Structure 1
């Protein structure tokens, strides 16, 4: 069965709309594209095809986001979070091989609940902050992010919660998220070449969504450049809250 046989024109049009919206949100707050894509595409496509569909748009938009301030700044962010990246990548590769074997419902719920608590607590004006990066906390968040990413293709929320708790400035947080997610995107594609998710036909579908995702991200950037640090933080927390609720929904309802 080839790519044209997998989807109808209505399916493709809906997928492009979902990718455009995901791009707008990512341009505004720097994350949530995999969450929106896997949720949106998964509502009318097979889970494996939805997971494959998010891969190339996520890869392309993360490359743009990570390199927006130049290669030198991106390398500096890479050096700062090398421990996070290493641990996260190992967990992503390991958990990706369990797709279709290990139910992700428990993991999704376990991660979603504290994310909702964190976002609500912050939005109520009761900050939970880290004065400086802790190696133990960094490793713990990397394990969560990598494991969730391998199983579901969504690894952003734990990363955002960690960076928000560190009170990272807007421009730096956008860049760091881009660099971390870029390498995570590459690892996700490589990891799933052995799981059966990445095929010639599924990647053709994923490639169709790239232009829409990039166009949406361009619009999101225009909106993000107009808001200050406080507004950016609130927007990030609102999207993080929605991400956590979505993880719980997926964990409970499937």
Structure 2
């Protein structure tokens, strides 16, 4: 008979292969998918601690895949500072202070992101507004990250609204997710929800995530991006609704 430990390890590995695959195809989505699936199986704080290393490794890989890192950091540092402050300040919520509200917040964040993706919401950010809008978006993103472990809202729509080339956008997403991951690790550690001993479990998730990312990158050119994104957001919507139901039913 398969032990509960082996079953859990298999589910976690499969989750990170799937999450890495999504990231390989779209350039984002690993923590979102991982939090969405693992959030149905464990507390959000446990899921967030588990995704730290695979998220960090894959995002650093994505960040340094191009040559414009310095220019992007110079342009987006206020946003990154906001993400750091917002995440660390609100990490107590996901670390246990929020209880069922952390689960509800995770479900709401996934649902909102999925609906925005399915409706293809797009907006343009005039360059004259960047200086004050960037830190505001960063703080809000950080607050949602600290409360739910999801890095994407509103950072992803905002970065997509900037005048960035495709390669720069992918790197900017990698930069945002890397900073979010580091800030979440600091916040969880400060709240004693993440210890050095937890790194072993997170480390075991790195290989499946990298495998999935490698597969996703290989098949990226052989599938319809529009079709893939539609099914991706439909799955996120289902996960979000399931988490909301779990929190309140």
Once the two structures are TM-superposed, the CA of residue 173 in structure 1 deviates from its matched residue by 1.5
User: What do the CA deviations read for 1:190-216 (whole angstroms, capped 9, x no partner)?
Assistant: 221121221233221111110111111
* Distance of aligned partners of 1:112 and 1:12 in 2 relative to their CA distance in 1, 3 Å threshold: closer
1:137–1:248 CA distance, 2 compared to 1 (3 A) = farther
Q: 1:132 aligns with which of 118, 126, 129?
A: 126
Counterpart of 1:173 (choices 156, 162, 169) is 169
Query: Which consecutive aligned stretches of 4+ in structure 1 deviate over 6 angstroms post-superposition?
Result: none
CA RMSD of aligned residues (A): 2.8
* Structure 1 stretches lacking a partner, 5+ long: 1-6
C-alpha contact 1:55 1:206 (8 A) present in aligned 2: yes
Seen in structure 2, the aligned counterparts of structure 1 residues 12 and 110 have a Cα distance that, compared at 3 Å, is closer
TM-score (norm 2): 0.82
Q: Which residue of 1 aligns with 2:77?
A: 82
TM-score (norm 1): 0.80
Q: Where does residue 41 of structure 1 map in the other structure?
A: 38
Kept in 1: contact 2:44–2:102 (CA 8 A): no
1:60 — aligned with what? 57
d(CA) in 1 for partners of 2:55 and 2:86? 19
- Aligned position for 2:154: 158
Question: Is residue 2:95 matched to residue 1:97?
Answer: no
Equivalents in 2 of 1:78, 1:227: separation in Å? Answer: 32
SS at match of 1:193: helix
Post-superposition CA distance 1:157-181 (Å, at most 9, x none): 4222112333644322211111111
Number of residue pairs matched? 239
The reply on whether 1:219 has 2:215 as its aligned counterpart is yes
- For the pair 1:194 / 2:169, whether they are aligned, the reply is no
Q: Name the stretch that deviates more: 75-84 or 151-160.
A: 151-160
Cα–Cα, structure 1 residues 112 and 219, in superposed 2: closer, same or farther, change >3 Å?
A: closer
Contact 1:189–1:198 (Cα < 8 Å) also in 2: yes
Whole-angstrom CA distance in 1 between matches of 2:88 and 2:241: 23
Question: Which of 19, 27, 30 is equivalent to 1:30?
Answer: 27
Distance, in Å, in 1 between the alignment partners of 2:138 and 2:165 is: 20
